[in-house]
Amino acid sequence: MDSIDGFIVEVTNKRDAALTVFDNFIGHLKSIHGEIVRIAAEKDATERLAATERARLKNEIDGARKELAELNLEIREAHKTLEHTIKENARHKQEIRKIMDDIFQKKAVA
């Protein structure tokens, strides 16, 4: 009987050791699962934030492009106005020269 009792004690001890190892393994798996869930939630939050930032930046870029187009239009209009003013000044200069030539010719004749 001693050998059977010894065998039962040995089997019981090995079973308890196996259960401890199994419980530790399950605990480790639960810990890993918790980390996976946390990382997945963090990833989702990061992706939502990235999508929000992309949308904000797209709106900002679109606004900047619209403003740039408006400024380019203003620059073209200002350039046309400048060219018109330069031509007008040249015409006025020409007229003034003609008037001055007429005045000097009248003085020379008189």
Q: pTM of this prediction? A: 0.54
Task: Count the helices and strands in the chain (H runs, E runs).
Answer: 1, 0
pLDDT, tens digit (0-9, with 9 covering 90-100), for 4-62: 888 888 999 999 999 999 999 999 999 999 999 999 999 999 999 999 999 999 999 99
Between the alpha carbon of residue 19 and those of residues 5, 10, 11, 27, 99, the distances in Å are 21, 14, 12, 12, 117
